[in-house]
């Protein structure tokens, strides 16, 4: 299934996109709550957190779309030289079909086109390692916070 990259920069999201984002983050609300807790402190719901981020100048929501539906999403904090991706989530029904791999490849291409380095916050578990290492990411050992199991993976391209 060919995925296209879409950058969601405005809030509120369309009704269709909101419904898709609810399906994407439904099983993974803890991921976004911990990964971007500093930004969405006053919001309990993942969609509200995403909308708050999309309304900021230094954040966008990167999404993977197929047949007009969002299949995956990742909040990205952007600076002049770096894109920091947080809490990639893929819609449960489309997992294990290459969606995350295609999406990250598209993010790598987007980072190169905008002359920025792509770094992703992710765990060091088997799933993250199997996804990120073949795409050229390395884990330098720095964690998001002291005692955290969330690492900053850097793209070596």
What string of pLDDT tens digits covers the 157 residues of the chain?
A: 689 999 987 778 889 999 898 888 875 543 433 444 444 343 447 788 888 888 888 999 999 999 999 999 999 999 999 999 988 888 887 888 889 899 999 999 999 999 999 988 877 677 888 888 898 888 766 555 555 566 677 776 5
Length of the chain: 157
Residue 93: per-residue pLDDT: 78
Number of domains in the chain: 1
Longest dimension (CA), the chain: 41
Taking the model in full, what pTM does it have?
Answer: 0.80
Domain that holds residue 82: 4-155
The region that residue 141 occupies, defined by phi over 0 for left and psi between -120 and 50 for alpha, beta otherwise, is left
Instruction: Report the CATH number at residue 133.
Output: 3.40.630.30
Residue 132: per-residue pLDDT: 85
Distance (Å, whole) CA 120 – CA 133: 12
Residue 55: per-residue pLDDT: 82
Question: Which helix (H) or strand (E) covers residue 113, if one does?
Answer: helix 99-113
Residue recorded with tokens 């996804």: 131
Residue 35: per-residue pLDDT: 44
């Amino acid at each position: 299934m060919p995925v296209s990259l879409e950058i969601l920069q405005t809030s509120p999201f369309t009704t269709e996109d909101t419904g898709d984002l609810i399906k994407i983050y439904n099983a993974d609300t803890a991921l976004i709550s911990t990964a971007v807790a500093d930004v969405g402190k006053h919001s309990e719901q993942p969609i509200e957190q995403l909308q708050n981020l999309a309304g900021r100048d230094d954040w966008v929501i990167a999404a993977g779309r197929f047949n007009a539906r969002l299949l995956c999403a990742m909040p990205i904090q952007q600076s002049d030289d770096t894109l920091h991706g947080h809490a990639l989530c893929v819609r449960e029904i489309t997992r294990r079909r290459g969606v995350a791999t295609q999406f990250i490849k598209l993010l790598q291409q987007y980072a190169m086109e905008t002359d920025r380095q792509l770094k992703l916050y992710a765990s060091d578990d088997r799933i993250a390692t199997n996804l990120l290492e073949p795409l050229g990411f390395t884990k330098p050992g720095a964690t998001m916070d002291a005692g955290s199991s969330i690492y900053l993976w850097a793209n070596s391209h």
